[in-house]
Chains A and B, each alone.
Chain A
Amino acid sequence: MASGVKPRVKAPKKASAGESVVIKTLISHKMESGQRKDSDGNVIPRSIINRFTCDYNGQNIIDVALAPAISTNPYFEFEATIPEAGEMKFTWYDDDGSVYETAKTVEIG
């Protein structure tokens, strides 16, 4: 597991049914591109988050493929319509096989 990886999500705790809400996500990750060399001339192996998904009550709302040119600490901001109360599940997939997960519950009110 790459060190210092910490997922963060900012989503409203409450929404009215059918409302479109803004969701902000950020994961601290060094996103090593695999194009750089260290001081001895050896290639620093690629280590990036390659996929990000968000599901709401089991239904996928966003699925992103990430490429090596994306800079450190990738940030995603997107909108989603909240049909009913439920749980939003966020998943980040690391090159090394690690999977980072976090979830937020949204109430209707």
Chain B
Amino acid sequence: MKKASFKVMTASVAALALGAGAAAADPEADLVVNGEIRMVTKTDAPAHLEGHLDTIRSGWTFRTSETQALQMDDFDNPGMIFVDGAQEAWDTAEGTAGKACADCHGDVAEGMMGVRAVYPKWNEAAGEVRTIEQMVNECRTDRMGADAYKYDGGDMAAMVALISSVSRGMPVDVAIDGPAQETWEKGQEIYYTRYGQLELSCANCHEENYDYYIRADHLSQGHINGFPTYRLKNAKLNTVHARFKGCVRDTRAETFKPGSPEFVALELYVASRGNGLSVEGPSVRN
């Protein structure tokens, strides 16, 4: 009897080892989208991470080769379906002013190139750090006379994905000094604060234990250069703040709200950790 059960155990261990081998991604693989946009998926960490991380790696390098392949061609990338939809919204007039995004910003590829790489960004007129989502909604309510999008809703995710898609391949370069510094420091404090019944901070998983598994999930460094992200688990685009909310919820904490000052500060800080990686959004993750 004892012998039999031992046999079963070795068999299952062998199966596990096989499974792990098939799932493991090649961390040295190159990400080239459509055969022309070459992405930086691994580079030296920005100066402010000294003593924390030496090398920063895109979330793409942690995924399986099948998931990685989906992002390498726009036709295969399911996120691009949503980008197509947002392109129509970009050109369609909405609201009481009878204006479309295109009326002021022109062609998205010209008007929005480079925008995703530098946001969240200090907004002088507002006197605070603003995200792309907040800028989209400001345009919609103040300039178009249209209803604001839900901060982490589908329309918003698609619009941000469209704006992000024209900056793909450009290095993330958010400013953390000057007027943005105070918000950045607040974000840093949130990043290292333990939340919830499980008492986990962002750093516990994404800085101290990245590349390990947390149950079945392969922990990444948690960079947001690939957002909005098409996730295979929910078959839609996910915004940065929705992802933050999911993470904080998993620590069994009451979460901050998407669009709240806390999440804006955290977004600025997390974006700055990925300074130097390429803008990938809309990326594909599991």
| B78-110, CB < 8 A from A | 78, 81, 84-85
B85 touches A4 (CB 8 A): yes
Report the minimum CB–CB distance from B232 to chain A (whole Å). 10
- From known contacts A28-B81, A73-B81, infer whether A8 and B235 are also in contact, taking CB-CB under 8 Å: no
Report the minimum CB–CB distance from B75 to chain A (whole Å). 5
B76 touches A24 (CB 8 A): yes
Complex Cα distance, B75 from A26, in Å, reads 8
Is A36 an interface residue, CB under 8 A from the partner?
no
Q: How many residue pairs, one in A and one in B, have C-beta atoms under 8 Å apart?
A: 16
**Dominant SS at the B interface?**
loop
Interface residues on B, range: under 10
Q: Mark B216-231, 1 if CB is under 8 A from A, else 0.
A: 0000000000000000
| B56-88, CB < 8 A from A | 75-76, 78, 81, 84-85
Which residue on chain A has the smallest CB distance to residue B235?
Answer: A72
Q: Mark A60-103, 1 if CB is under 8 A from B, else 0.
A: 00000000000111010000000000000000000000000000
B78 touches A73 (CB 8 A): yes
Q: A4: which B residues are within 8 A, CB to CB?
A: 85
Which residue on chain B has the smallest CB distance to residue A72?
Answer: B235
A71 touches B235 (CB 8 A): yes
Listed residue (B75, B78, B84) with the most chain A CB atoms within 10 angstroms of its CB: B75
Q: B76: which A residues are within 8 A, CB to CB?
A: 24, 75
Is A104 an interface residue, CB under 8 A from the partner?
no
Q: Mark A2-45, 1 if CB is under 8 A from B, else 0.
A: 00101010100000000000001010100000000000000000
**Dominant SS at the A interface?**
strand
Q: A75: which B residues are within 8 A, CB to CB?
A: 76
Report the minimum CB–CB distance from A94 to chain B (whole Å). 17
Which residue on chain B has the smallest CB distance to residue A10?
Answer: B75
Which residue on chain A has the smallest CB distance to residue B75?
Answer: A10
Complex Cα distance, B76 from A73, in Å, reads 11
Complex Cα distance, B75 from A28, in Å, reads 12
Q: A24: which B residues are within 8 A, CB to CB?
A: 75-76
Q: B235: which A residues are within 8 A, CB to CB?
A: 71-73
Q: Mark B168-211, 1 if CB is under 8 A from A, else 0.
A: 00000000000000000000000000000000000000000000
Which residue on chain A has the smallest CB distance to residue B84?
Answer: A6
Q: B75: which A residues are within 8 A, CB to CB?
A: 8, 10, 24, 26
Complex Cα distance, B84 from A8, in Å, reads 11
Which residue on chain B has the smallest CB distance to residue A26?
Answer: B75
Q: A10: which B residues are within 8 A, CB to CB?
A: 75
Report the minimum CB–CB distance from A42 to chain B (whole Å). 23
Listed residue (B81, B84, B85, B235) with the most chain A CB atoms within 10 angstroms of its CB: B81
Complex Cα distance, B85 from A31, in Å, reads 18
Complex Cα distance, B81 from A26, in Å, reads 10
B residues near A (Cβ < 8 Å) are 75-76, 78, 81, 84-85, 235
A residues near B (Cβ < 8 Å) are 4, 6, 8, 10, 24, 26, 28, 71-73, 75
6 A-B pairs, CB-CB below 8 angstroms? A6-B81, A24-B75, A24-B76, A26-B75, A73-B78, A75-B76
| Smallest CB-CB A-B distances: 6 pairs | A10-B75, A28-B81, A72-B235, A24-B75, A73-B78, A73-B81
Name 13 extra pairs, CB < 8 A, besides A4-B85, A73-B235, A75-B76: A6-B81, A6-B84, A8-B75, A10-B75, A24-B75, A24-B76, A26-B75, A26-B81, A28-B81, A71-B235, A72-B235, A73-B78, A73-B81
